[in-house]
Structure 1
Amino acid sequence: MRNFEGKTAVVTGGSAGIGLATAKRLAAAGAHVVITGRRREQLDEAVAAIGDATAVVGDVSVAADVDRLYERVREHGRGVDVLVANAGTNHLATLEELTEEAHDRIFDTNVKGTYLTVRGALPLLNPGASVVLVASTAAGSGTPAQGAYAATKAAVRSYARTWANELSGRGVRVNVVSPGPVDTPLWDEVFGEGAEEVKKSIASGLPAQRIADPDEVASAVAFLASRESSFVYGVELHVDGGMNQV
């Protein structure tokens, strides 16, 4: 179904993983998708895979880059109907190991980046627009060495509650998708050569007996972005293979 025919969607971190899968799904349903990321070559490849898409190089933690993203959206002339704040990063370190630099870097991307992304969109959000923030089930898990990452995702979830109230008067809905383990390139960045073994170990403890494909998370994002969820405000939808539910 082309639920997003004639709509404009913005997806940050749209060149890989959950962001790319979401951008492809929204475009297939009729949206023109504007994606952003830090690497031009990867963005160009993503645009070719998505189809009806525009790519803007930028870092969501840099206000000037976010401003440039929305200038391109203004040029399109239709405002924003769907905003998916997906860009994020991870860093594994215990409290003892975590450096101030690493702490600030992950908070800048995951928390400040989400804030700048949504704040920058405010003048462009059309009535009836949907904002979907991508958090993580790690926010509530207390997993060792995930403290900084989990704290950023807890902040994202908290933002959604407040923004759902603040923007409801404009007819804008704000919700959260919190994935569990998903097969994205971030695993290789975090775990290196040991990524496959870590994925297998985690999958064995899930009711689903596997980790998610990015498109399965994209399906949840698309639901919250669509009129199919028109009475859903401030929810956190876990897409975790039963990790936190069973």
Structure 2
Amino acid sequence: MRFTDKVVLVLGGNSGIGLAAAQAFAAEGGKVHLTGRNQKTIDAAVASIPGSVGYAADIADIASSERVVSAVEAVDGRIDVLFINAGVGGFAPLEGITESDWDHVHGVNLKGCVFALQKAVRAMGEGGAIVVTGSIGAHGALEGNGTYAAAKAGLAMAMKVFAKELLPRSIRLNMVSPGPIDTPLLHRNPGMGPDDVARLKDMMIANIPMHRMGESDEVAKAVLFLASDDASFITGTDLLVDGGLIELS
């Protein structure tokens, strides 16, 4: 029970990797708070995690991150573990990128995550642990992925800087970068229909050395490791969970 009596906040914890992690934190004794943008999935997530608390919030709205942190403080007084998982996808070639799509993806995946971190660290004390979801998109050049890759690459570098800044407070900050994981996010790419998603999945599987897509709980296990005392001498790292796609290519 690595998280007994720990207060855990999962931003983007109502589905996919975030939900798998929230459930795993609770199973190991954590008091879980989670956010999402869809009240129906938030309610379902909370129902699946005894003692958890859910909040409707959009990480792109900086004020909503402030409200969530204040709400967690009001209930439990602090945050011991923070998992920033909220994110959106978006595929378009250079000629097809629009300013609004760029701003949306970066507003969530980069700006929103940075300011959520800024708001949350005030509630964290010595020994706190932070994990942020990155992406192998920041490590490889996939055609049509420029907008998303730029946001995640920027996030990865920013988190390295912040990990160094948080060292004097004994707060560890790490990233976990999933490869092809079959989550709801994969099916919400703007401009991609079911046939497009199926073709994308087939293309990814063909290039993964393990010849399969990953599962949300496999990423969650990496998240819990980095958030736990098992990783007490690890900070500033970016752990790839990708079936060997980047490392063995």
Q: TM-score, normalised by structure 2?
A: 0.96
Tell me whether 96-105 or 202-211 shows the greater mean CA deviation: 202-211
Give the secondary-structure state (helix, strand or coil) at the position aligned to 1:233. Answer: coil
* Residue type of the alignment partner of 1:151: A
* Residue type of the alignment partner of 1:189: R
Confirm whether residue 244 of structure 1 aligns to residue 246 of structure 2: yes
Give the secondary-structure state (helix, strand or coil) at the position aligned to 1:177. Answer: strand
* Residue type of the alignment partner of 2:242: D
Give the secondary-structure state (helix, strand or coil) at the position aligned to 1:198. Answer: helix
Measure the CA separation in 1 of the matches of 2:152 and 2:51: 30
Match of 1:209 in 2: 211
Change (3 A) 1:6 1:78: farther
State whether residues 200 and 210 of structure 1, in contact with CA within 8 Å, keep that contact through their aligned partners in structure 2.
no
Q: Once the 2 structures are TM-superposed, how far is the Cα of residue 106 of structure 1 from its aligned partner? A: 0.4
Give the secondary-structure state (helix, strand or coil) at the position aligned to 1:127. Answer: coil
Q: Once the 2 structures are TM-superposed, how far is the Cα of residue 41 of structure 1 from its aligned partner? A: 1.0
Confirm whether residue 100 of structure 1 aligns to residue 99 of structure 2: yes
Q: Once the 2 structures are TM-superposed, how far is the Cα of residue 159 of structure 1 from its aligned partner? A: 1.4
Give the secondary-structure state (helix, strand or coil) at the position aligned to 2:193. Answer: helix
Confirm whether residue 112 of structure 1 aligns to residue 111 of structure 2: yes
Q: Once the 2 structures are TM-superposed, how far is the Cα of residue 150 of structure 1 from its aligned partner? A: 0.4
Confirm whether residue 139 of structure 1 aligns to residue 138 of structure 2: yes
State whether residues 31 and 52 of structure 1, in contact with CA within 8 Å, keep that contact through their aligned partners in structure 2.
no
Give the secondary-structure state (helix, strand or coil) at the position aligned to 1:60. Answer: coil
Measure the CA separation in 2 of the matches of 1:61 and 1:215: 25
Percent of pairs with identical residues: 37
Q: Once the 2 structures are TM-superposed, how far is the Cα of residue 62 of structure 1 from its aligned partner? A: 0.9
State whether residues 9 and 83 of structure 1, in contact with CA within 8 Å, keep that contact through their aligned partners in structure 2.
yes
Match of 1:192 in 2: 193
Measure the CA separation in 2 of the matches of 1:9 and 1:112: 22
Unaligned runs of 5+ in 2: none
Measure the CA separation in 2 of the matches of 1:70 and 1:140: 31
Provide the alpha-carbon RMSD of the alignment: 1.0
Q: TM-score, normalised by structure 1?
A: 0.97
Q: Once the 2 structures are TM-superposed, how far is the Cα of residue 233 of structure 1 from its aligned partner? A: 1.0
Measure the CA separation in 2 of the matches of 1:78 and 1:208: 43
Q: Once the 2 structures are TM-superposed, how far is the Cα of residue 173 of structure 1 from its aligned partner? A: 0.3
Residues 18-167 of structure 1 correspond to what in structure 2 (within 5 A)? 18-167=17-166
Give aligned pairs, total: 245
